[in-house]
């Protein structure tokens, strides 16, 4: 059971990379995609269960009160579909492609939103409330909003409501059971990363299954599919950035969480709800293309956050070097990834220079730096991978610095003991001592 827990933790830790890898495997191996397509109900259950467990195990999130939750619900549930509907009417798009874009916008946020937020060190509880709340409202909200924006599509709402009740209800029952018996599942779900790993497995099944549709659209018309992919990537990234900007006052973690929830929609759910998936060719093509940025965005955001933290940490420590070297160092660290043995792939050593100043170097950056600079870089990696052994690396490097320092000379001065009052003195005694 402990091996399963280790496996889930690694899945959660490397989730963004695994999501992209699953799509690539599905495209390269059609039998795997076909097999995964049969497991989509299981995938929906796993990603919902993983998100629930991630939010339940996550620490408290200060500043995410009812007001922020309601605003995030309104943004993802009303503002985003309205903006997309207005934008598609203003752009010269074909009716079928326009239907696909609007249908994707009407879908609720992805069920894995909380797990993705945990992977990126954001606000998983906020993401869970918004995504699950809008998912439960989907059987009513999708057809109503579709009618309001003029989308000509029929929806099997009864079938959709039953499926969502089974998936969300079953996942919630299992998650609460695990929470009540947390000790019995400690080896399988040792931390939040392992819980998000459950959702990663579900998302990997989705990536494998949707690869079949991506390949079919690619073979049908490469230029058309690339155009749809460009639109999907632009809308996903644009809505994520716009949402983060709208909620900037709530702090960058909450703001980026709201952006991700608003930009990443459960397009497969809307696809299945639209008369069993019977959509025009262009609409199906856009739905297939929209899955790609959903799976790739977490990896892109993680890379951006790492570069941002690295640059901030270097500036805070006053690391004086050329901008080109800083960029090269950041890219080298990012290419190494995280995980592995003590301190993952990083190694470092320190020694005293002729002026008795401790100078350190890391395996990825040959330029010598102060211990403070090296510590700030290690801190960046430690935030993304708390279990990677970076604390051990930092303590070893500090010992190397201290080992080279000369012992302080013995002092002949004696320290005069300072009297300490064993109990509070009365005001009169204090006044007498002052006189």
pLDDT digits (tens, 9 = 90+) for 243-263: 999 999 988 889 999 999 998
The per-residue pLDDT of the chain, averaged, comes to 77
46 and 94 assigned to the same domain: yes
Question: Does residue 210 lie within any of the structural domains?
Answer: yes
Beta carbons within 8 Å of 251's beta carbon, 6+ residues apart? 63
Q: Mean pLDDT over residues 346-363, rounded?
A: 76
In a domain, 190, yes or no: yes
For the full predicted model, state whether its pTM sits above 0.75.
no
Looking at the fold, whether 283 and 360 belong to one and the same domain comes out as no
Confidence of residue 79 (pLDDT cuts 50, 70, 90): very high
Say whether 31 sits in a helix, a strand or coil.
helix
Q: Is 227 in the same domain as 98?
A: yes
Domain containing 194 equals: 2-294
User: Looking only at Cα atoms, what is the longest distance across the chain?
Assistant: 99
For residue 277, give the DSSP letter. Answer: G
Mean pLDDT of all residues in 301-318: 64
Are the beta carbons of 70 and 190 closer than 8 angstroms?
Answer: no
Would you say residue 231 lies in a domain? yes
> Are 285 and 348 in the same domain?
no
Judge if 34 and 158 occupy the same domain. Answer: yes
Q: Is residue 412 very low, low, confident or very high in pLDDT (cuts 50, 70, 90)? A: very low
Q: What is the pLDDT of residue 14?
A: 86
The CA distance from 187 to 72, in Å, is 35
The alpha carbon of residue 262 and the mean position of all alpha carbons in its chain are separated, in whole angstroms, by 14
User: Which residue's structure tokens are 């297939």?
Assistant: 288
**Pair 260, 331 in one domain:** no
> Looking at residue 334, what is its pLDDT?
43
- 44-58, 143-157, 190-204, 310-324: the lowest-pLDDT one: 310-324
Q: What does the alpha-carbon distance between residue 308 and residue 315 come to, in Å, rounded to a whole number?
A: 11
CB 259 within 8 A of CB 244: yes
Q: What is the pLDDT of residue 244?
A: 92
Pair 289, 396 in one domain = no
User: Residues 379, 284: one domain?
Assistant: no
> Is residue 21 included in any domain, yes or no?
yes
- Report the pLDDT value the prediction gives residue 366, as an integer from 0 to 100: 53
Q: Answer yes or no: are the C-beta atoms of 24 and 349 closer than 8 Å.
A: no
User: Quick one: 133 and 80 in the same domain?
Assistant: yes
CA nearest to 85, candidates 149, 157, 168: 149
Give the pLDDT score at 239: 92
- pLDDT of 160 reads 82
Tens-digit pLDDT profile for residues 210-240: 887 788 888 888 888 888 888 889 988 899 9
Indicate whether 257 belongs to any domain: yes
Is 415 a member of any domain?
Answer: no
Same domain? 153 vs 29: yes
Which two three-digit tokens encode residue 322?
Answer: 């050329």
Domain-embedded: residue 264: yes
Is residue 310 assigned to a domain? no
pLDDT interval class at 364 (50, 70, 90): low
Give the number of domains in the chain: 2
Q: Are 313 and 377 in contact (CB under 8 A)?
A: yes
Q: How is residue 119 written in tokens?
A: 């992977």
Q: How confident is the model at residue 415 (pLDDT cuts 50, 70, 90)?
A: very low
């Amino acid at each position: 059971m402990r091996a399963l827990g280790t496996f889930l933790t690694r899945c959660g830790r490397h989730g963004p990379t695994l999501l992209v890898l699953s799509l690539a495997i599905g495209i390269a191996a059609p039998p795997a995609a076909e097999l995964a397509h049969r497991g989509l109900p299981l995938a929906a259950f796993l990603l919902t269960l993983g998100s629930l467990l991630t939010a339940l195990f996550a620490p408290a999130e200060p500043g995410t009160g009812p007001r922020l939750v309601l605003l995030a619900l309104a943004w993802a549930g009303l503002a985003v579909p309205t903006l997309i509907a207005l934008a598609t009417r203003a752009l010269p798009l074909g009716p079928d492609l326009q239907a696909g874009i609007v249908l994707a916008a009407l879908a609720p946020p992805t069920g894995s939103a909380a797990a993705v937020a945990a992977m990126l060190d954001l606000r998983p509880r906020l993401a869970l409330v918004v995504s699950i709340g809008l998912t439960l409202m989907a059987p009513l909200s999708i057809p109503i909003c579709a009618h309001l924006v003029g989308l000509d599509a029929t929806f099997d709402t009864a079938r959709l409501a039953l499926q969502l009740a089974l998936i969300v209800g079953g996942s919630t029952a299992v998650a609460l059971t695990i929470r009540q018996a947390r000790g019995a599942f400690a080896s399988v779900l040792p931390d939040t990363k392992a819980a998000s790993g459950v959702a990663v497995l579900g998302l990997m099944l989705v990536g494998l299954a949707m690869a079949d549709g991506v390949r079919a659209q690619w073979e049908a018309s490469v230029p058309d599919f690339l155009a749809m992919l460009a639109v999907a990537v632009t809308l996903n990234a644009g809505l994520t950035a716009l949402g983060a900007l709208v909620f900037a006052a709530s702090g960058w973690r909450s703001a980026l969480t709201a952006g991700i929830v608003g930009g990443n929609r459960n397009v497969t759910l809307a696809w299945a709800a639209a008369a069993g998936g019977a959509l025009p060719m262009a609409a199906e093509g856009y739905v297939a293309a929209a899955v790609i940025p959903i799976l790739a965005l977490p990896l892109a955001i993680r890379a951006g956050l790492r570069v941002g933290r690295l640059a901030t940490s270097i500036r805070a420590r006053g690391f004086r070097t050329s901008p080109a070297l800083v960029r090269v160092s950041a890219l080298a660290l990012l290419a190494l990834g995280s995980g592995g043995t003590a301190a993952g792939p990083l190694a470092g050593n320190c020694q005293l220079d002729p002026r008795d100043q401790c100078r350190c170097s890391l395996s990825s950056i040959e330029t010598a730096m102060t211990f403070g600079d090296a510590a700030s870089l290690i801190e960046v990696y430690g935030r993304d991978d708390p279990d990677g052994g970076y604390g051990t690396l930092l303590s070893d490097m500090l010992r190397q610095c201290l080992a080279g320092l000369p012992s302080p000379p013995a002092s002949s001065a004696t320290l005069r003991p300072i009297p300490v009052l064993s109990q509070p003195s009365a005001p009169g005694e204090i006044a007498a001592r002052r006189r």
